[in-house]
Amino acid sequence: MRTLFRIAGLLAALAVALPASAQFGHPLKGTWSGDWGPNKQERKRVLLDINWDGKALTGAINPGPNAVTLQKATLDPSNWSVHFEAESKDAAGKPIRYVIDGKLENIGAYQRVITGTWTEGAKKGDFKVVRN
């Protein structure tokens, strides 16, 4: 009888855990924070806000009054690579192009990680962001 209760308890715990893990939604959806820069001494904090409407990825770099809207956002599930493109203007009105290429890691966990290369205008470096 104890064994039956233990098995029933285990099955109940699994029944609760499985739907909870399935509610993450799109693997990129959410707010991601981290930094980027050309080396370890020169780093800039960055926040990515990525949404999924069921058809397309949208989002922004550093959401807020100076947000940069993503013009292109893709995920290749065959190798979990991501690609983002955006454009803004500097204080003089000159365009600044953003190209962000990375790899999605730790996919099974809530706090997923994206690492890769970040290009902002003429500056290029590496980046790492973690989903909050």
Q: Tell me how many degrees the CA angle 101-119-108 measures, rounded to the nearest 5.
A: 30
Q: Tell me which residue has tokens 């509610």.
A: 23
Residues with Cβ < 8 Å from 111, sequence gap 6 or more? 130, 131, 132
pLDDT band at 19 (very low <50, low <70, confident <90, very high): very low
Q: What is the DSSP string of 75-122?
A: EETTTTEEEEEEEEE-TTS-EEEEEEEEEEE-TTSSS-EEEEEEEETT
Domains and CATH numbers, the chain: 26-131 (2.40.128)
118-128 per-position pLDDT tens digit: 999 999 999 99
pLDDT digits 0-9 by tens, 46-59? 999 999 998 999 99
Contact 69, 86 (CB under 8 A): yes
Greater confidence, 129 or 4? 129
Look up residue 17 and give its two tokens.
């855990």
Confidence of residue 26 (pLDDT cuts 50, 70, 90): confident
Question: pLDDT tier at 16 (50, 70, 90 boundaries)?
Answer: very low
Task: Write the CA distances from 93 to 58, 89, 90, 100, 118, integer angstroms.
Answer: 24, 5, 5, 22, 21
Q: What tokens does 14 get?
A: 């699994």
Q: State the pLDDT at residue 5.
A: 53
- Calculate mean pLDDT across residues 88-115: 94
Greater confidence, 116 or 1? Answer: 116
What does the pLDDT look like over 60-75, one tens digit per residue? 999 999 999 999 999 9
**pLDDT over 70 percentage in the chain:** 82
List pLDDT tens digits, range 75-86.
999 999 999 999
